[in-house]
Amino acid sequence: MTVEERRQQLIGVALELFARRSPDEVSIDEIASAAGISRPLVYHYFPGKLSLYEAALKRAAEDLADRFREPHEGPLGARLLRVMRRYFDFVDDHGPGFSALMRGGPAVGSSTANALIDSVRQAAYVQILSHLRIEEPPARLELVVRSWISLAESTALLWLDGRRVPRAELEVQLVQDFAALVAVAAAHDGPTAALLKPLLRDEPGDGPFADLVTRLVSLAA
């Protein structure tokens, strides 16, 4: 293997271990053993556990950011639902690693880790704005999009702790939460309402947004 191939192999092995146990609990010895190489050789490719952890984090962050990319075709609700499915696939696949990172894992507080987490949030934000066809959002809309991204993060983290709600239902609920939070902001802010109204015209009767309205009307009755 070339140096780069070996590094990529070790990152892959580390991510697999972090998906089953918190990075705090995974030793360099285990990573070496799972990769079939000696401990000193791991240190040849990564000077310490933090650097391997950060490299793994970088690959995971790129993977996660990729999942927000969605073609600009079809109704918005359905697009967001596909993104949520890929997001929960990631969370499901990386459970302990994802939790450790967001709750304060080995690299938290390191500027590399914080920058990577922020880059994923920013990728999600930019993608959502592009689907809303908005370049310069009003302050309130920026706030609602960014705070919904953090709601999706915290919902995923809480879900991982026990998985007591079927994830498919949470995926739909998060899409509907987005609509609900945007509706609250639009109810207070003319510019936000004006930007969003045209987007809703294309929503089909069987999409997640219409489903929410139907459910709420039936709940109120």
**Least Å distance between CB 83 and a copy of itself?**
18
Residues in contact with a copy of itself, shown as a per-residue x/- string from 87 to 106 under the rule CB under 8 A = ----------------xx--
Quick check: 194 binds a copy of itself (CB under 8 A)?
A: no
The single residue among 56, 60, 101, 185 that binds a copy of itself, judged by CB under 8 A, is 185
**Least Å distance between CB 184 and a copy of itself?**
5
Q: What angle do CA 143, 100, 81 make, to 5 degrees?
A: 45
Question: Of 2 and 111, which has the nearer Cβ to a copy of itself?
Answer: 111
Reported in sequence order, the residue ranges of 23-150 that DSSP labels E, i.e. its strands, are none
Quick check: 216 binds a copy of itself (CB under 8 A)?
A: yes
Judged by CB under 8 A, which stretch of 27-35, 54-62, 80-88, 212-220 contacts a copy of itself? 212-220
The single residue among 48, 147, 191, 202 that binds a copy of itself, judged by CB under 8 A, is 147
d(CA 3, CA 58): 18
Which residues are within 8 A (CB) of 206 and not within 5 positions of it... i.e. 6 or more apart?
Answer: none
Question: Of 41 and 139, which has the nearer Cβ to a copy of itself?
Answer: 139
**Least Å distance between CB 29 and a copy of itself?**
23
Give the three-class secondary structure for 33.
Answer: helix
| Structure tokens that stand for 104 in this block | 């304060």
**Least Å distance between CB 28 and a copy of itself?**
20
| Structure tokens that stand for 67 in this block | 């999942």
Half-sphere exposure of 122 (CA within 13 A, CB side): 7
Q: Render the burial of 124-139: b for 16+ CB within 10 Å, e for the rest.
A: bbebbbebbebeebbe
Q: What angle do CA 188, 194, 198 make, to 5 degrees?
A: 130
Question: Of 33 and 173, which has the nearer Cβ to a copy of itself?
Answer: 173
The single residue among 188, 198, 205, 221 that binds a copy of itself, judged by CB under 8 A, is 188
* Chain Cα centroid distance, residue 25: 23
**Least Å distance between CB 151 and a copy of itself?**
5
| Short-list 46, 67, 57, CA closest to 100 | 57
Q: Contact residues for a copy of itself (CB under 8 A)?
A: 103-104, 108-109, 114, 139-140, 142-143, 146-147, 150-151, 153-155, 158-159, 162, 164-165, 169-170, 172-173, 176-177, 180-181, 183-188, 193, 212, 215-216, 219
